Amino acid sequence: MMNKALTEIADKIIQCQRIAITSHLRPDGDSICTSLALYHMGKSLGKHVEIINKDNTPSPFNLFPDSGCITIGSIPPDKFDLVILLECANISRSGQKHLGNYFKINIDHHHTNDFYADINWVEPEAPAVACMAYDLGKALNIIFTPGISNHLYCAIVSDTGSFQFSNTNTRAFEVSYHLTEKGADPLMISEFMFHNNSPEKIKLLGRVLSRLKTFYEGKIAVITMFKDDLIDLKLRKEIDSEYITTLARSIKDTQIVLFFKEMKKNTFRVSIRSRGNANSAQVAEHFGGGGHLHAAGFTVTGNYDNLIKDVPEKVASLLKKKLNNG
């Protein structure tokens, strides 16, 4: 059975000719690949479609042959009939400033969403927004080309962490099953996603992990990246370093990773990743930051040698009970 919002969205897309697609600031694999899939779906219906994001496309998705279809910048105030926002809890999350007069469609799979658009379709149980786009494609009677199928499959792999995160459910496999039937190529996508690193990224990994310290019987792992690491390796400071965190978090018994990133002398942005009961948001809030249960961040200032001792000790005392209960 098709839900009401989905039917309304399909009808609206059919009626409109000029469609803009945008997603959130610092877009991720799910929002980028789903945007590209929707772009090709719209094109196959004869629509004028543009993807316009405020922030750059991150690696490796910027290596997609059609990542050039993505414009970085602002959606002008009067160029389109319809704007589709992917994974934006509210309009400001898109970074777009001129959406006031537009008919807006909000498609999201996160719990927190302000239902700000003319049509809101929010499904927290969807493993990726790509799975919702798949349903939309079916509602629009789209022919799922290998290109569209690969984009959607790539989005699912990205958002479920290769079918390892807690959002990996039956639907993730079900949609992936159908996408591979339509020509998505899992081997090609995994080569693309995971075997596309530059030597510099791997050298960075070595540097950062060589500074690993563990606290509280290994339940807390701390790693550090200095500005000079990026300068020496000629890497951009916006580099996505999640792959380093993932390795630190893979240490047996580690429940929380504190990743210190030097912003300027004596100022560090600390990103927190945790699992189980260890509450990242609680830690971040203590230090004046914020975030989610398993991903959060905050900024600290001070002498590095002191911070690297004091912050983990404070985290241990904050989470003592939770860390002991696994």
Report the interface residues with Mn ion, using CB under 5 A: 30, 128-129, 159
Minimum CB distance to Mn ion smaller for 108 or for 262: 108
Contacts of 52 (CB under 8 A, 6+ apart): 20, 21, 22, 70, 71, 72, 73, 74, 75, 96
Minimum CB distance to Mn ion smaller for 150 or for 167: 167
Q: Which tokens hold the place of 240?
A: 């996505």
- Burial class, 156, CB count within 10 angstroms (exposed 0-12 / middle 13-18 / buried 19+): buried
Minimum CB distance to Mn ion smaller for 84 or for 128: 128
Measure CA of the first residue to CA of the last residue in the chain; give whole Å. 41
Q: Give residue number: closest CB to Mn ion.
A: 30
Minimum CB distance to Mn ion smaller for 27 or for 42: 27
Look up residue 294 and give its DSSP letter: S
Helix (H, G, I), strand (E, B) or coil at 56: coil
Q: Cα 280 vs. chain centroid, distance in angstroms?
A: 17
Look up residue 62 and give its DSSP letter: G
Minimum CB distance to Mn ion smaller for 87 or for 262: 87
Minimum distance from CB of 311 to Mn ion (Å)? 30
Minimum distance from CB of 322 to Mn ion (Å)? 26
Minimum distance from CB of 278 to Mn ion (Å)? 23
Q: Which tokens hold the place of 121?
A: 């379709």
Return the H-helix or E-strand segment holding 205: helix 199-209
Minimum CB distance to Mn ion smaller for 93 or for 219: 93
**Strand spans (E) along 169-305:** 213-215, 220-225, 256-264, 267-274, 290-291, 295-301
Minimum distance from CB of 71 to Mn ion (Å)? 21
- Name residue, tokens 């990224």: 201
Minimum CB distance to Mn ion smaller for 30 or for 135: 30
Minimum distance from CB of 131 to Mn ion (Å)? 9
Q: Rounded to whole angstroms, how far apart are CA atoms 70 and 105?
A: 19
Minimum distance from CB of 185 to Mn ion (Å)? 21
37 — phi, psi (to 5°)? -65, -45
CB 153 within 8 A of CB 169: no
Minimum distance from CB of 290 to Mn ion (Å)? 19
Minimum CB distance to Mn ion smaller for 61 or for 80: 61
Minimum distance from CB of 158 to Mn ion (Å)? 8
β-pair partners for 299 = 269
